[in-house]
């Protein structure tokens, strides 16, 4: 059975406790070296992506989900409803509980039709 090298820790880092930790440390060092060698500008990064063929894939942005193949999204979940209305999820659940916001249940998911959400928003504007 091979043992880990018993070299003293350098630069204030502790020696790895096991092979797994040694492999993780080696991977982290490799990632740090790759980050230092990464392109410094966005243009260089775009060129590198294009050369690697990554430019073909659509970029994902936070909170953005791709449209389904059949067309636009018809239903959204409660977190998305709260975000679109600019309210908290807890208040959104209260609207659902009080039957002010119509929902559809698919399995364990609670969804709101986008059309119903728009009608709800218009009704709120008319109440004000």
pTM of the model: 0.46
Beta bridge partner(s), residue 104: 111
In tens digits, the chain (128 residues) has pLDDT values of 555 555 555 555 556 567 766 666 665 555 555 445 444 455 555 665 566 554 445 555 566 565 667 788 899 999 999 999 999 999 999 999 999 999 999 999 999 999 999 999 999 899 87
Strand order in the sheet with 109-113: 75-77, 109-113, 104-106
| DSSP state at residue 64 | -
For the chain, the helix, strand and coil percentages under 3-state DSSP, each to the nearest 5: 50, 10, 40
pLDDT digits over 7-24, tens only? 555 555 556 567 766 666
Q: Measured between alpha carbons, how far is 34 from 36 in angstroms, rounded to an integer?
A: 5
Instruction: Answer yes or no: are the C-beta atoms of 102 and 112 closer than 8 Å.
Output: yes
């Amino acid at each position: 059975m091979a043992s880990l090298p018993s070299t003293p820790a350098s630069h204030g880092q502790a020696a790895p406790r096991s092979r797994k930790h040694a492999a993780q440390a080696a991977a982290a060092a490799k990632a740090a070296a790759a980050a230092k060698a990464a392109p410094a500008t966005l243009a260089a990064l775009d060129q590198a992506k294009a050369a690697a063929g990554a430019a073909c894939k659509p970029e994902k942005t936070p909170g953005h989900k791709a449209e389904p193949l059949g067309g636009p999204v018809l239903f959204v979940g409660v977190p998305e409803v709260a975000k679109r209305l600019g309210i908290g999820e807890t208040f959104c659940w209260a609207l659902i509980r009080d039957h002010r916001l119509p929902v559809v249940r698919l399995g364990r998911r609670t969804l709101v039709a986008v059309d119903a959400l728009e009608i709800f928003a218009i009704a709120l504007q008319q109440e004000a």
